[in-house]
Structure 1
């Protein structure tokens, strides 16, 4: 079990990134991601998490990807409000499967996987936006990367999902600048 408690924003980032990278992500891969985020193994097998549930979750991840790619605070807030209006209900505290008390805003224990994901993900992003006063998430700016990031720490706003992507982008930019500064008389530059 995750010792830090539920992290719905990170779960959103991980699932949306996985679906963005692999749009037809399998039910088994989604179940593995959910298990990594402390969803009960009993809830991820057989009829409890069917192929239809996986499709619903993938569709929800695609919808949330549009919000995760939105950098404008006003447009992000309006999009989050639309998702919350459509998929959330009055907040309630829940404790199940050995977890500590945590907040649920879906339409009840019988809500589908997609509706649950939309409600919990939208609430997580809305809390982050209101606490930080800005959009702290986004799509990685590294070329050939399809991941999202969540940047809630101090310092400059993030632009990359990982230090690997940031380093790769810096090296590529350095090489471009060096190539552009190279003399045109055929002599090698130093």
Structure 2
């Protein structure tokens, strides 16, 4: 009778040992609770991420951000930079939160904002349209393009309405008051 219980007891001991080993392995994989990692400086991250882009890549990336295609923007940055997915996601988020002008590699980045210079005039007129409910506004200017308007929309959606209105007014022939009315339609 004692021999019939030996096999089930051995199986039970083997299962218990296996459970114990799995529990120990799982405990080792969990990181120790400690202070949270410091948040990265997103403005600096945006500057360094923009420095890795060519002029065409910069334009394409900001066009995707302006169109709200975050996944496509992350994929593009991932392919361009060779950074990991998490780093690409963080870089695109920083670029959206802190729009960066394109600077050629031989140009040292100035300490002042690019809005201090006279805006470039393009050979075509760009139309920007915003509407909310029954209200629709249109701005047409040869100092606007998809990239600049994308930066303005990003500023507005991130909550910096005054900077967005100032940039729109600067890149068009409308007053700051009219720009504020237009920007208020972009808020979500």
Question: What is the TM-score with the length of structure 1 in the denominator?
Answer: 0.30
Larger RCO, structures 1/2 (Cα 8 Å, 6+ apart): 1
